[in-house]
Amino acid sequence: MSESWGYGVDNGPVHWADKFPVAKDGRRQSPIEIKNAETKHDPALTELILSYDPSTAKSLVNNGHSVQVDFDDSEERSVLSGGPIQGKYRLRQFHLHWGARDGHGSEHVVDGQAYSAELHLVHWNADKYESFELAAQAPDGLAVIGVFLQVAKHNPALKRLISSLDCVQEKCLRIEFNDFNPHTLLPPSLQFWTYLGSLTTPPLYESVIWIVLKDPIHISKEQIARFRTLQFTGPDHLMKDNFRPPQPLNNREVLRNFQ
């Protein structure tokens, strides 16, 4: 693998195991293909409760792999509870994965269908762990909500994020991004699948309770095209196809909270 991981021919997902053996040796890697008929309805799963304080939004950054909004998680102000998780998990950041063209680009796949992008809202268990870094290495440390994006009509909820992308075209660029409630990005119904998995980027720690929403949100063709103008490492390497393909399920159980 070349110097650092990425999504290219020389440093993409098939090479990650060279430096991160868990990529091939792990038993709970993500993403996965969800086959709905093989999932199990669990009536004990309560509804998700997202309690986000818009003033915790801090900044928007191009980290060279994705575009990410970071939140102030020093206090318990923006939290996720309910569903498969115990207690409260603090919102740390959200970011997206997308394809070079419409119709692929999501990380999770449902019954053979990929979506054009996937939003990840990353939360950590501050009740149990002292820092995000420690939580990210613990089996119950993180809870990530995955939301599919389907190319259809214009999505006004994405407008502000997308209009800010011009300011973070290059790797390491960061701008202030305040007063934003990511709840506005979610679909009206929060029906979900849940399973135990991993980070989908190196170091691929097996620390994530995944919550994948069944219903996608919309994005227009013009809107998603703006994500593809961001740069991975320079103007010759535009940020697209920044997704990992599905990994072996290895007998894991995928639960759902809907009939």
Just list the catalytic residues: 65
- How far is residue 91's CA from residue 16's CA, in Å, rounded to a whole number? 27
Q: Toward Zn ion, which CB reaches closer, 57 or 67? A: 67
Q: Which of 28, 65, 108, 120 binds Zn ion (CB under 5 A)?
A: 120
Residue 88 interacting with Zn ion (CB under 5 A): no
Of 7 and 40, which has the nearer Cβ to Zn ion?
7
Q: Where are the beta strands (DSSP E) in 111-156?
A: 117-124, 142-151
The smaller minimum CB distance to Zn ion, of residues 76 and 177, is found at 177
Q: Considering only residues 181-220, where is the footprint of Zn ion by CB under 5 A?
A: none
Answer yes or no whether residue 92 interacts with Zn ion by CB under 5 A: no
Maximum C-alpha span of the chain: 50
Torsion of CA 164, 166, 172, 178, to 10 degrees: -10
The least CB distance from residue 94 to Zn ion, in Å, is: 9
Which residue of the chain is nearest Zn ion when measured via CB?
Answer: 120
Q: How far is the CB of 259 from Zn ion (least distance, A)?
A: 29
Question: CB of 251: closest distance to Zn ion in angstroms?
Answer: 24
Distance between CA atoms of residues 14 and 245, nearest Å: 10
